Amino acid sequence: MSLHEDDVQAAINSGVASAMLYPMPPNAADMEQIRIAFDGDAVIFSDESERIYQQHGVEAFEQHERENAKKPLPEGPFARLLVALSYLQNQFRTPDGRAFPIRTALVTARSSPAHERVIRTLRAWNIAIDETFFMGGVNKSEVLAAFKPHMFFDDQHAHCIKASDVVPTGRVPIRQTQQ
């Protein structure tokens, strides 16, 4: 994570999960439990579906997701972090069953019917996210303000600007390939 966009882009281009940090909001969470929230496409998952949406629109995106509902999404730059957090949560439960003090959330613009592929992908990866919000394009800020993550990762500048008013936010740039 960095405040320097060139460094973040170079790391992403090298295959390293990186995010451009936004200024910290004045009410940043300070709790005993670590909370991390992720967007889906181009963050946890690859940008494959996002590219279809950007190039061909929502109908083509939904059709693609229906046709591929049973096919897990490819990993995105922060998939390994989520896998590691999930592992920690599963390995370090207290004897009375309480979870390790890490809580995760998926806050994505996806909605029905595109949610099915996300759910099937997380199951295929053997990951249980504590909270999942399929926002259907609605502003994510209110959900993020309620969840109070210590960090939120998204790939869309517009979403990051709004989120950075309420929670610490990092923008994950799209990996650029050399031509």
pLDDT in tens, 80-110: 999 999 988 877 766 666 656 789 999 999 9
Report pLDDT digits (tens) over 7-60. 999 999 999 999 999 887 776 655 678 899 999 999 999 999 999 999 999 999
In a domain, 65, yes or no: yes
Q: Is 130 tagged catalytic?
A: no
Q: Which of 7, 39, 41, 130 is catalytic?
A: 39
pTM of the shown model:
0.85
Domain that holds residue 131: 5-22+42-171
Q: DSSP letters along 5-74, please?
A: HHHHHHHHHTT----EEPPPPTT----SSEEEEE-TBTTTB-SHHHHHHHHH-HHHHHHHHHHTTTSPPP
In a domain, 32, yes or no: no
In a domain, 179, yes or no: no
Q: Residue 164 gets which letter from DSSP? A: T
Question: pLDDT value at position 164?
Answer: 95
In a domain, 113, yes or no: yes
In a domain, 107, yes or no: yes
Cβ atoms of 9 and 124 within 8 Å: the answer is no
Considering its fold, how many domains does the chain have in total?
1
Task: Work out the pLDDT band at 117, boundaries 50, 70, 90.
Answer: very high
